[in-house]
Structures are given as C-alpha cells and as structure tokens.
Chains A and B, each alone.
Chain A
Amino acid sequence: MFLYLLKKLGVILPTFFGVTLVAFVFIRMLPGDPVLLMAGERGMSEERHTELMAKFGFDKPILVQYGYYLKQLAGGNFGTSIITRKPVLDEFITLFPATAELSLFAMIIAVFFGLPAGMIAATRRGSTFDHTVMTGALVGYSMPIFWWGLLLIIFFSGILGWTPVSGRISYLYYFEPVTGFMLIDSLLSGQEGAFSSAISHLILPAIVLGTIPLAVIARQTRSAMLEVLSEDYVRTARAKGLGPQRVIGLHALRNALIPVITVIGLQVGVLFAGAILTETIFSWPGIGKWMVDSIFRRDYSAVQGGLLLIAAIVMLVNLAVDLLYGLINPQIRHTD
C-alpha cells in the first residue's frame, strides 16, 4: 500500500511541474508583449513599460522567469487579475464554492441514479429495462449539454414555470455567505423561503451537469457487474445457499464497485469541463463562468492563475481517487 502511494506521488510531482510550466508558458505564448497585455486597453508610457518589465523580470532569461514564477506560486501568489486588480487566488476562493456545490449535486444525482440503474440492468440483462437504460445512457452522453440545458430551460422554466432561469438564489434574498454553499447558507440565514429558492435554482443546472456522468456511471456499472456476475466466486456464493440479494448486493457489488469508483473519480475532470458550459447557460457564478469571462475580457492573469488552480484541484482529486482505490481493493491494500 505504501509503495503504491509512493509510486502515485512519484508520478504526480513531475506532472504538477509540467502543469505549472504550461501555465507559465501560456501567457508568454500570447501574441504581443506580456506587460502591454497586462496593461490591457489603457496602454502605457515607455518608462512605465521598461519599469514594469524589470519589475516582473520579463527582461531576464526565461528559466529565471520560471524560477520567479515558481517562487511566487510557493508563496501563494497566483497572479493579480488585470480587470479587478484583486489577487487571482482570492477571486478563485470566492467563486469556487459555487462550482463545488453544483458539481457535488450533479455527482450525487449521477451516482444516485446511475449506479442502481447499471446494477439492475446487469442483473436483468437483455430485458426491456436493460435496453432502455443503455439507450438512455447512450443518448445521455451523445447530448451536447449546452443544448440540453437550453431545452430544459425552455421546458421547465419557460413552459412550466417551475424553475428559475439563472443565478443561485432569488434576488429577493440577501445574506452574507458563511460557507459559500448556498444550500447551507440559506438554511443558516433563517430567512423563510430562502432554502427552497436555493434548491429550485440548483436543481436544473445540477441535472444538466450530471447527465453525462450519470450516463457513464450507468454504463460502467453495468459492464463491471456483468463481468463480476460471471466470476467463479459468485458461483461459490450461490453454492453456499445465499439468497440472490446477498449474492448480488454484497458479493458481486463489492467487487464491481472497485472499477466503478475509479470511473466516478475520473468524472471530476468531466464535471469541470461541463461546468464551463452549464454555468454559462444558467449564469451560475462559479469558476467555469469566471474562466470564460476572463478569456473574453482578456484577463490573462486570471486565466493563467485559474488554469493552474483548476488543474491542481483535478490532480488532487485524482490522487484521492487513486488512494481510495488502493484502500478498497484488498489486493493492493493488503500486500504481504
């Protein structure tokens, strides 16, 4: 187990440095002068230009610049937004909970519906239920989710009027964020109707974002279960006279979950990509929308910092998933 961890860390570290390199190089790949870019539309005088070049070290050799950059990162400085003039890290931390809340809910929906669907489809292989689930899953991940979101908005917000179109909570409510998670904060605020408003704002984006993970989880669970159900130890369990619920729900599922956990973990990267689109459609004030806006506003510091932070989070989550995998797979956890 320990060796397994060490190996995983050994891979992560060079990858992380590679990621910082990409973020570092990114701003220098943009056409034009980095200082002028950072100045934005206003432009600047010659002296100021030289002054800033020296200040940021853009006149030094590239390796030295990279060293400075790493030093900055180590000190927690991920750059300063050109537009808002605030540290990128601060903006990120402010906006991250919105994306986290949305992603968490989307994942809960995906697992809550996808896992049982895949399981039952596997146990009833070839049945109508199986075909329906598999076709549904296929449609689910063939769907352009930005369009799916628009469709749901048309239907639920436009025609039925059940859900709002944008934002995290009705503008009628205002309270200071405590955790950043609207559901928790609205409960804490004690204001009547705040919680239900938060939920009604969250539900549609969460469904949209969770559609692809749901489809993938359903398919993967089904194929993992099918493989497990044909294994010898399932036959042994049946030969012991155990009932079908125990055989499938305990003996088979435990083994099938192992590869499925990895798949669930990998969906985090997919969730971030999906969040970009979902937040744009629902005007959800999270990291995804912030990145898109920053790109359009040419706020390159924000893009650079955001890129790095998001990649770091994805890598951390993958590491956590690898760890979890090592824990639940007895063949890795208990190696003599």
Chain B
Amino acid sequence: MPWIRNSNDHNCTMPLLEIENLTVTFKTAGGQFTAVDQVSLNIEPGEVVSIVGESGSGKSVSMLALMDLLPWTATITADTLRFDGLDLKTINKAQLRQIIGSKMAMIFQEPMTSLNPCFTVGFQLTETLKIHCGMNRAERKKRAIELLDLVGIPEPQKRLAAFPHQLSGGMNQRVMIAMAISCDPQLLIADEPTTALDVTIQAQILDLLLKLQKEKGMSLVLITHDMGVVAETAERVAVQYAGQQVEKQLVKGLFSNPHHPYTQALLNSLPERSNSRLLPSIAGVVPGQFDKPVGCLFSPRCKFATDLCRSTPPVAASLEFGRALCHYPLAEGHPTNYPKEVSA
C-alpha cells in the first residue's frame, strides 16, 4: 500500500526530524491555552512535507516550538523531539543555538518586517556565516554574493549594501531564503512564505524553494493555508485543526480520498471544485480558548457529527485512514462504520 512508504512507524533510514506527541500550552490571562495538542510528525531527509490549516490551527506554533522561538509563557512537552539523532529535549540552549540557523532554518511570512531595518542586507546575510561557519570577511562576502545569485537576485554585489526598505517584498523574501540556506541546512521550515506576496511573485518564490530543496537535498516543511500551494509542492501533507493533527497522508491520496471530514470540507470549499453559484463554506468558527467543545473539536461544524462525536474525543485512526482524528473516518467520501439510523 503506497501510503505506508513514509510512515511514522519504524523505517530503515532514520528520519531527520522526529516529533511525537508534541503539546504546546500558553499561559494566558484566562488560564492555560493549548495551541498544539499531541502532534506527531516524522520527516525524512530530502522530503517535502506540508502542514495545512486555518489561522489558529497551531501549524506555526509547533515549528516555532522546535526552533525555540516561543515566548516564556509557552510550555512545550513531547514524548520525542529529535533532530538528526540529537535529542532536543535534553540539550542546553547553547547547543540548540548551534543547530538553529545552521542545520535547521526557518523563514517567515512577512518579509518586509522580518529583516532588521537598521542593518544592510549584506550584514544580515553574513551573520550566520560568521557565527556558524566561522568564515573570514573575504570568504563571507564571496559566499554572500553566491547566495544572492542562487536565490535569483540580480546584481548581487550592489545589493549587499542595500537596506531592506530599499528592496521589494519579493526580493526581501529571497534574501530571507538566502539567509536561511547560507549554512546548508538539512531542514528548512517555511512558514507561509508567500502569503504576503503578490500572486506572480508567489509562484516564483515557491519554484525557488523547490529548486533549492532539490539541489541541496534538504527537507522542506511548508506551512500554508492554501491548498493550491500544497497540491503543487508537497509530497506528504499533515492537516491541522484547532491545534490537533486531524489527518496525515500522501498528497495524492489527500486530494483524491480525504479521510477526515475537515479535509473534505476544505477541499470542497476550493473555488475550483465548486459546481454551483454559491461557494460552499464551512459553517461555524474555529473553537477558541473558552469554547472548546467536549468530544471532537470539529463536531460543531461537521455534517456527519453524531452524539458520540459530540461527547467523546476521537482517537487517531489507522495508517490506512491517514491517521484521521475521527470516529468515522471517510473513505471515498462516506464515513465508515457510520450508525445507520443517522445517515437517513
């Protein structure tokens, strides 16, 4: 069965990134807020994985937790958190800082504000080279020009002395990508890298990311809310809803045979798939801190919801069903094991 190929279960090659039951809670004025609830994900070297979800689904938070970029109000717990064999739960901050920015890098959503306005592009680009790779000034400059060229910035020598506000959004994002890959990372996390850019630039940036990923053989985690982007880029997809991972499977299977009602609803609300005047949408809103339903978090909005769904939290289904967090995972669009009385 094709979807067993890259599984969370034991495999011959060691996964680059192993996350098991990651939970992140924030201390807020209203109590503890669970932003990420028991998320598991393994990433192989050279793989492209996409994490999809609405705003507030916790898709960014899990990756930020990995990179130690969360504020002090966050509590991170996990059964396993391993990168390239290194146990991230036990290493100290200094060791973690050696990996971050060099072997594991991240780029963010807003390129215009993600670069420091007070320093030149060249300075910011060569910082990682200085600190992680120990290059001297001449080497750094040469490498910086190479990197800018690699990400498709014309006239790289001139750009070294430019300030971020003198470049466009697309150029800034390219600089961010150059910064991220400067020390040849094994894992690149891209948190909605194209959301803030024009549509034409979006395509260019995505192409660039994929090209770099192939050339350097690094793993790419693409966080997005755009199913179109997922379709074009990912090999495997994890779907998140309200902090929980509701489905995880290969991209082709996800699109042709979604196993979780939320995934199905997401796909159905794509404009390309509509066949009537009214665009379908998912009624209801994502639960916030104070109105988390008992039972399945998606049950208020799910058209297949039964009393069981509303009362008991579901357990992740088997691999066959993409680990869907559902009592009645879908197969070919219909819920399995569905009680007959309800489906009338």
Contact = CB atoms under 8 A, between A and B. Distances in A.
B116 to A, nearest CB: 4
B110 A232 contact: yes
Contact of B165 (A241, A254, A331): A331
Contact of A236 (B99, B102, B163, B176): B176
B114 interface: yes
Interface string B160-185: 00010110000000001001000000
A242 interface: yes
A240 B116 contact: no
A206 to B, nearest CB: 32
Contacts, number: 71
A235 interface: yes
A18 interface: no
Residue of A236, A238, A239, A334 with most partner-chain B CB within 10 A:
A239
A17 B1 CA distance: 87
13 contacts: A232-B110, A232-B114, A237-B116, A238-B69, A240-B179, A241-B128, A242-B101, A254-B116, A258-B118, A330-B117, A330-B163, A331-B117, A334-B165
A336 interface: yes
Given A331-B163, A334-B163, A235 B101 contact: no
A239 B67 contact: yes
Contacts of A254: 116, 118-119
A240 B128 contact: yes
A173 B128 CA distance: 59
For the complex of A and B, the 9 pairs showing the least CB-CB separation, nearest first, are A241-B101, A240-B101, A241-B100, A232-B113, A233-B116, A254-B118, A241-B97, A232-B114, A330-B163
Residue of A232, A258, A334 with most partner-chain B CB within 10 A:
A232
A239 B108 CA distance: 10
B99 A241 contact: yes
Contacts of B128: 240-241
Interface string B99-132: 1111001101010011111110000000110011
B98 interface: yes
A238 B69 CA distance: 7
A330 to B, nearest CB: 5
Nearest to A241: B101
Interface in A49-80: none
B101 A239 contact: yes
B166 A242 contact: no
A237 B68 CA distance: 12
B108 A236 contact: yes
Contacts of B113: 231-233
Nearest to B103: A241
A326 to B, nearest CB: 14
B106 A255 contact: no
A243 interface: yes
